[in-house]
Structure 1
Amino acid sequence: MTNKKTSDTHGEELQELKDLLYAEENSNIIAEIKNMSPLELHILAANFNWNSGFEIPEAILGNGNCDLGTGLLLFYRADGYRVLESKDAVSESAQSEWKDLISNLFDRIVDDDFPNKTISFTPPLTKVQAFKLRKSNPSIPEVFLDKSPGDDVAIPVL
């Protein structure tokens, strides 16, 4: 009986996240993000539609519960590979919001500015991509190339 109740509660939480994700107003989502757990932030980040702008990812990253794994997930989903591939990618971009987000996120990851490290993230790189990145820029921190610390989390599609 307890397992069903726990399962039902988990299902309700996922439904609430789904409803929030498809809410009309970003301000409503941002207000809710302030109270989210690391896992909820990670699930929301993994299901976020980047066509909706940068406000939601910035709110997720601004939550003190944001995990390193979530930061890395957002880095790669925000086309962070371009930054690792070319040092000039940020300066050459005309998208000021993207430049701010990706630069700040890169710096936070390098500075180890994510106190939570409970959710693991494996960069979506092939062995060849990782090899080429290491060869072209040996100073890329390993955190961008290797699996981060923490537990593997199954991410439901909302």
Structure 2
Amino acid sequence: MDNSRKEYVYKLLYSENKQKSIDEINCITDSELLHIIAGNYNWDNGFEIPYSIINNKYCDLGTALMIFYDADGYRILDNREELKNPNLKEWGNFISETEKKILNNKFVVNNIKFIPPLTKVQIFKLKKNNPDITKVFIEESDGDVIEIPNV
């Protein structure tokens, strides 16, 4: 990734005007660029930017899965009761919507590989507790590995 693209990602993620960044992300047609933005996102800054990425029609399935796991989606795969925590309502809404979009094949682009950050023991427990768990959450996705540079 060249320096001008790194600078572009940096400006999007650290802009004082979050709405301007969201509007800009909504217009991005490069799924790899969306992936790199998501991979550099600081989750302390809320859910608006990740929402704009997963709602972009060019968002890749691999990017959506990365966002799901980066947002601690493993917690609901392990224990759905986590969604009922009243202190985590915004997180619960975000993670539920992301999960639903993944399960309903709303990500038509599938060129970026995602490897779930799970150990064999975690996969075993997930399958044991939920034999019907969808494979998309526990197996590698198709596509190419995209290096995510730090910006």
What TM-score range do you get, normalising by the shorter chain?
Answer: over 0.9
Q: Which residue number in structure 2 is paired with residue 3 of structure 1?
A: none
Paired residue total? 150
Q: Which runs of 4+ in 1 moved over 4 A?
A: none
User: 1:81 pairs with 74, 86, 93, which one?
Assistant: 74
Aligned in 2, Cα 1:150/1:93: closer, same or farther, shift over 3 Å?
A: farther
Given the alignment of the two structures, is residue 139 of structure 1 paired with residue 112 of structure 2, yes or no? no
In the alignment, structure 1 residue 96 sits paired with structure 2 residue 89:
yes
Is 1:41 equivalent to 2:66 in the alignment?
no
The structural deviation recorded for 1:135 is 1.1
Q: Which runs of 5 or more structure 1 residues have no equivalent in the other structure? A: 1-6
TM-score, structure 2 normalization: 0.94
Distance (whole Å) between structure 1 residues aligned to residue 56 and residue 142 of structure 2: 19
1:1-158 alignment runs, 5 A limit = 10-36=2-28, 37-158=30-151
Percent of residue pairs bearing the same amino acid type: 43
Q: CA RMSD in A?
A: 1.2
Q: Distance in 2 between matches of 1:85 and 1:93?
A: 18
Q: Contact 2:83–2:89 (CA<8 Å) still a contact in 1?
A: no
Q: CA deviation at 1:127?
A: 1.1
Q: CA deviation at 1:95?
A: 2.0
Unaligned runs of 5+ in 2: none
Query: Which whole-Å CA distance do the structure 1 matches of 2:134 and 2:84 have between them?
Result: 20
Give the TM-score normalised by the residue count of structure 1: 0.90
- Asked which structure has the greater CA Rg, the reply is 1
